[in-house]
Structure 1
Amino acid sequence: MENKQLEEKLNKLGSNKEPFLFIISYDLKEFYVEKLSKLPSNIKYKLNAKHTSKIKHKTTLLKEPISFVAYKKKFDFLQEQIKMGNSYLLNLTAKTKIKTEYSLDEIYDKVHSKFKLRFKKDNSNFVCFSPERFIEIKKNKIYTHPMKGTIDSSIPNAQAKILGDIKEMAEHTMVVDLLRNDLSIVASKVRVDKFRYCEKINAGDKKLLQISSKISGHLEENWHEKIGTILASLLPAGSITGTPKKKTIEILEEVEDYNRDFYTGVFGVYDGKSLDSSVMIRFIEEQVGVLYYKSGGGITSDSKVNLEYEELQDKIYLPF
């Protein structure tokens, strides 16, 4: 999935040490890149913001999710692909029609999240409040923090249960291995600095434990001139596709029957010295006056369809 125009534009801005915002769709076909000095006021973002896992306000979302029968059909198809050896992990996503009393602008202002973005331009109108960093580059080192695995923190011994779950362990290990290999394309001395640690996330009417790992590598001093090349080499993100990446993307394209667009793409900022970015999950988009919340989860051979269907809906929330 290449976009030479995007790659060249980012490389040029980086070469000039010009600070900019970038927003890239899942398939790299759509993108928005603008110098920070020229960024319009209606495009808002926050990166690596301090946030709380405390629930301050309970918010009800009316959801009209994909039916269990329709979801199971997709799930079963993916299980067949796994049995045939075409993939080992696939991140199946769907879009859910929702109703809420809040506008997208109000949601952006109210949500507590590490990374958030409000974007409205041309045919794209969405808000994203993601807990997941994509890559961070500082002092010639590149870092990525894949997230894979969630559990309701109110479940007794939740942390011990998810860290000891064989299916969750296998899924997370596959993503870490994929991201480590991806990072090796652009960096040297790639290593896993921290494997499977827990973070608490405010999920509206409940708290979730999210499992992450930290991977790092060394870049050449002229990495500023290669920002576009680095991003193009790593996208789409491994945590929202699967492994092996190329074949898994083809399978997901066949089974998901909707366009992810900017959902599960990335956004970030280069400030002239360092770069930080986020995977665009926890995503609400407006289409012809209707709101859709896009969500998903990783499917492996050990996955249980009822639990995955439940997780798809658990991830539909507003962290106020």
Structure 2
Amino acid sequence: MRFSPGLKAGIASLKSQLLQRSPDSNEAMQTITAILPETPEVSLPGWLYRQQVYPKLYWSSRIDESASDEFRGETRDVEVAGLGVAMVRTGDDARAFLASLAGSDCRKQYYWLSTFDNDTPVLILPRIELLKQQGHFLLRVNAVDRANLSGAVHLPGYTPIPQWMADLRDQDLLSLLSGQFDTPELDIEYERRIDQPNHETWRELVGQAKACISARDFEKVVLARETRVFCAKQTDAMLLAAHWQQSVESCYQFVFQTSSDNGFISFSPERLFRRTGCHLDTEALAGTAMRSCDRDQDHELGQQLLLDEKNTREHRLVVEDILEKLGGLSDAVSQSGRGLWKQKHIQHLIYPLRAKLHTGIDDHRILAALHPTAAIAGSPARVARDFLTLHEPFRRNWYAGTHGCVSASKTEIAVSLRAAQIVKNEIKLFSGAGIVAQSDADAEWSELEQKIRAPLELIHRCHALSPIPSLA
């Protein structure tokens, strides 16, 4: 086993600091940090895959270098690998804790996950964190007297965390950390694929949606598809994420894994909001076009997207929706104008917005006001969601929900798109498309395929497959 000298030194430093803690301290939790003397060349999801302790959490903010020139300049300022639980809140307790952070003197970073319907929010603080910030690595322990995790986190198909993990002392937990940082090959044995809805049913759903639009029931609805890939053996979510990460760019990256056979992944391009103090950044991201390896052709595809009537209409509805919602949060909203957001295989229309928040506005109020936007539900939202409840043939659960990193001074929340749920030997891949009056069902189906292209290509390579057939 190879062990990073820097990581080994960091573990030794934390153990020494833990021994020096005052036994009479009244603090329920102390955060102890070691700066690693050597920057380890590691894939953090790959490192997490090697660990024995659950839950495992990975979060990375978005790199914005692939945006149009006017939207470049941001860099990924944090990448976090988390293990175990020092604190967890669920349901109303999670919402209340989120609301209490704004204006507090709390300096800890917590991690948020919620469903599309926002009925199962989870807010978690890991016991162990390996952080990469501005090129430097930190190893951190959120030291607690005893972390009682049993039954604390509720996910669909959730496997309770073994009690021995909850009972581990911080010193013992550090001793369990693996220094093995190489990522093994991905081994997926594909068996079959089922789409919900299938291609024919998708055409019918798009037809029903357009009929409702013609009847002026709503102007837009975002229909989603669940692609179920069945494998011959269990797939590890963190290992899948470590390989998937290599083929994506300009996105938020989030993995939450509660056991070796259950995990959720999102590599999402879409920011819901970023709050820094009392300042809020959000964006309307909608409308999709393919990309090309040829630079001139890629530029032409982008210009066509900017001029396309259907995509412009779809995007404008999202802009109007967010502006209306910001009205209850701020009186001062600045707009940067429309541009292109480019990813590896596809590109989107983007419209950044910035606002100064009213006094007393907390993260829970922002989240409740903005989510779901017209980019993931439709417009008007209530009627569009009623249509989805009646017609969509699966529950979205974590897909199109929210995830992010929250703190008193800064919070960043993304929409959980480009997502996968892994349960034992099944990989569920999710994708969606905005339906407006000008939509073509087959073109939208092709867009769904492009949005899950990265994980499908991984499966193709593992099994030496030609493109996996869609069962219409």
Please, what TM-score do these two structures have when normalized by structure 1?
Answer: 0.83
Structure 2 gap segments, 5+ residues each = 1-90, 136-187, 459-472
Distance in 2 separating the partners of 1:46 and 1:230: 27
Aligned pair 1:173/2:310, yes or no? no
Superposed CA deviations along residues 127-185 of structure 1, whole A, max 9, x for unmatched, are 11111111011242111122111211128420111111101111101111101111222
Distance 1:63 1:165, change over 3 A: farther
State the number of aligned residues: 297
Match of 2:117 among 27, 30, 47: 27
Change (3 A) 1:141 1:79: same
Deviation at 1:4, TM superposition (A): 4.9
Distance 2:427 2:340 in 1: 31
Displacement after TM superposition at 1:286 (Å): 1.7
Residues 314 and 139 (structure 1), Cα distance of their counterparts in 2 relative to 1, 3 Å cut? same
Per the alignment, residue 11 of structure 1 pairs with: 99
Q: 93-102 or 74-83: which moved more?
A: 93-102
Query: For residue 266 of structure 2, what is the amino acid of its counterpart?
Result: C
Q: Which letter does structure 1 place at the counterpart of 2:312?
A: M
Q: Is the 8 A contact 1:46 1:117 kept in 2?
A: no
Normalising to structure 2: TM-score of the pair? Answer: 0.58
Aligned residue runs from structure 1 range 14-93, under 5 A = 14-18=102-106, 19-35=109-125, 39-40=126-127, 64-65=194-195, 66-93=197-224
Q: Match for residue 139 of structure 2?
A: none
Choose the corresponding residue for 1:158, options 275, 288, 301: 301
3-state SS of the aligned residue for 1:194?
A: coil
CA distance, structure 1, for counterparts of residue 132 and residue 378 of structure 2: 27
- The structural deviation recorded for 1:190 is 2.2
Q: Which residue of 2 aligns with 1:183?
A: 326
Residues 346, 450 of structure 2: 8 Å contact kept: no
Q: Which amino acid aligns with 2:119?
A: K
Residue type of the partner of 1:131?
Answer: P
Aligned with 2:253: secondary structure? strand
SS in 2 for 1:308: helix
Aligned CA-pair RMSD:
2.9
- State the percentage of identical aligned residues: 19
1:199 to 338, 341, 345: 341
Gaps of 5+ in 1: 50-59
3-state secondary structure, aligned to 1:318: helix
| Deviation of the 1:10 alpha carbon | 1.0
The 1:125–1:166 alpha-carbon spacing in structure 2 relative to 1, beyond 3 Å, is: same
Q: Is 1:260 matched up with 2:350?
A: no
Corresponding residue number in structure 2 for 1:97: 228
Q: Which has the higher strand share?
A: 1
One of 276, 281, 284 as aligned partner of 2:412: 276
Farther-moved stretch of structure 1 (173-182 vs 144-153): 144-153
Q: Does structure 1 residue 141 correspond to structure 2 residue 279?
A: yes
The residue identity in structure 2 corresponding to 1:7 is: R
Q: 2:241 aligns with which of 108, 130, 133?
A: 108
State whether residues 340 and 347 of structure 2, in contact with CA within 8 Å, keep that contact through their aligned partners in structure 1: yes
- Relative distance call for 1:81 and 1:124 in structure 2 (3 A) is farther
| Contact 2:266-2:419 within 8 A present in 1 as well | yes
2: distance between equivalents of 1:46 and 1:174? 37
Call closer, same or farther: CA 1:44–1:213 in 2, change over 3 Å.
farther
Instruction: Tell me, in whole angstroms, the C-alpha distance in 2 between the residues paired with 1:279 and 1:267.
Output: 7
CA–CA separation in structure 1 for the residues paired with 2:94 and 2:330:
21
Give, in whole Å, the separation in 2 of the partners of 1:17 and 1:288.
41
